[in-house]
Chains A and B, each alone.
Chain A
Amino acid sequence: MTLLLVVTAGFLCACGTYLVLGRQLSRVIIGIGLLGHGVNILLVSSGGDGGDPAFAGGDSEQFADPLPQALVLTAIVITFGAIAFLLALAYRSWRITDNDRVENDVEDNRIRRAVRRSEGLDDERVER
């Protein structure tokens, strides 16, 4: 059971990492969501093997550890808030630039222009 959870967590984190490394903002956001889910599963499984629902049964020996569950709830809420903010920011970015790509770093552009100038190429167009 725990092995299944750990494999799922690993799979979700792998998918999340792949998406976060992409160039599209929407993918990055979905990637962060997947990473969050993967880590939450990891957090649940850090309490050891499962058991009865916490506090519901009578026997405290057979309880699942309730602490990781409380932690995961907090983490879920925080991830939710952060992703809502990120979506708003991505929407703003889309309104401003009219596309869904992560823009080039300003400093990278500056360096690229400097290199082109030194090579005598035209410095007008910077690759997006």
Chain B
Amino acid sequence: MTILVAGPILLPLLGAALSIGVGRSRTAQRLIGVVTLSGVTVLSVLLLLRVDDRGITTVNAGGWEAPVGITLVADRLAAIMLVVAMVMLLAVVVYAIGQPGAEDEHVGFHPVYLILAAGIALAFLTGDLFNLFVAFEVMLMASYVLLTLGGRPDQVRSGMTYVVISLIASTLFLIALAAVYAATGTLNLADLSTKIPELPTGVRSGLSVLLIVVFGIKAAIFPLFFWLPDSYPTAPSPVTAVFAGLLTKVGVYALIRSQTLLFPADTQPGNLLLVVAGLTMVVGVLGAITQNDIKRILSFHIVSQIGYMIMGLGLFTAAGLAGVVFYVVHHIVVKTTLFLVAGLIEQRDGTSDLSKLSGVARLEPLLGVLFLLPALSLAGIPPFSGFVAKLALVDAGVGAQSYVIVAVSLAVSLLTLYSMTKIWASAFWGPRQDPPADRVISGRRRSLMIGSTASLVIVSLGISVAAGPLFDLAERAAGDLIDTNNYVEAVMGR
């Protein structure tokens, strides 16, 4: 079963190496990219089925037993995240092939994209805190390159901010690792989960807050989100879509993993996470309302939505965590789709500035449908997946009697709907505007882009249709997170 767990990390790396080798032929690079990511998607679906059926699967790299060696652990949460991430990566690479620009002009796109995939997979599957650091670095290094691929002045400017912030976060991560190792003498997550509760309260809270700050920068929670709305919109649109859908969610995953496994609910520093969650939601959505560019509005919405995920985590109940798992899955799909639609508009009209756009729905009604469905879902309108996700979180909030955060989350939903209507009213309604002639591309390329966007819309509709079984799965995943004994036994037990 080694291949199921190690495959999602090794295959993309192998694909990246091959892709560099055939750098002269873009067709071969495309083939390798699509085949590798399809293969990894199949592997991760098989992994999810196996994990859901037989419980946590572990692999010890090099045959060294935990806690000495590096352990890869796939539990339900990791497998779910892996499946969603790989589906997104696959859809976006097809979109990127259709789009003129980044992928066409740069030899590096496909190899770096596959390395990004490997980094994301490693971050989900690792069972070791230092290995998580390495996964972050692999992922971030690939993201630096993708973000600045065009070398345009605005990309260099915002890329600089992004790289420096990420490096400072990495430095803090190393400090946290040094502190954890000095206090416990191990970095294996399962081993830590039995050793950290023995530490004095002060040390434990210090480590917990340090890790919250580190992962909070990656996840863009308040007040550490300022780099995100600035840097994401400048990247090529398929890259922005992947970043928006996946990168911050890797941070959220790391927060969930570290807070549930290492710092049980009774050792948490009060309502810190809930307060942070509320502020993240409110500040993010207020930022979105003041913006006047589709990509920037959507970027601020990422921040706001991260607040919902932190809210579920901050409740520290099984219902809350199940809500988060479902919410993350819904959010990744919907957010990626919205950015892809924004990319489609930008590709044709040459801008994503609301004051310059008009009548998109008249010119291309299909785009209107592709935007409207995920936008309503993001705002939480029934019967879309966003409604189910928010209902689960609100229900969990009421169950935990945290009424303030529930009220905040409902108000933020309304404001989200408001800013989605703003995009709709300025860009999609209004008199029809013919696109500049030099931006028209061949029907085949455009249909690749629209096809991959449409398939993601169908996935998101699929999530709302299959909400029942999926939510059961999310509840089982949350059960694993609350009861850490299974995880520890699976890693340390043999």
Contacts and interface: CB of A to CB of B under 8 A. Distances in A.
B partners with A: yes
B201 to A, nearest CB: 21
Contacts of A92: 148, 151, 156
Contact of B168 (A35, A78, A90): A35
B234 to A, nearest CB: 9
Contacts of B164: 20, 28, 32, 86
Interface residues of B, number: 31
Interface string B21-41: 000000000000000000000
Interface in A61-114: 67-68, 71, 74-75, 78, 81-82, 85-86, 89-90, 92-93, 96-97, 102-103, 105-107
Contacts of B178: 39, 42-43, 45-46, 68
B65 interface: no
Interface residues of A, number: 35
Contacts of B187: 67, 71
Contact of A96 (B156, B168, B230): B156
A107 B171 contact: no
Contacts of A48: 182
Contacts of B177: 43, 46, 71
A67 B181 CA distance: 10
- Scoring A46, A86, A102 by chain B CB atoms within 10 A of each residue's CB, the highest score goes to A46
Contacts of B167: 32, 82, 86
Contacts, number: 87
B156 A93 contact: yes
B127 to A, nearest CB: 16
B130 A71 contact: yes
Interface string B153-165: 1101101110110
B214 to A, nearest CB: 12
Given A46-B178, A97-B153, A102 B160 contact: yes
A82 B141 contact: yes
A47 interface: yes
Given A20-B164, A35-B168, A86-B164, 5 more contacts: A35-B171, A48-B182, A75-B174, A97-B153, A107-B229
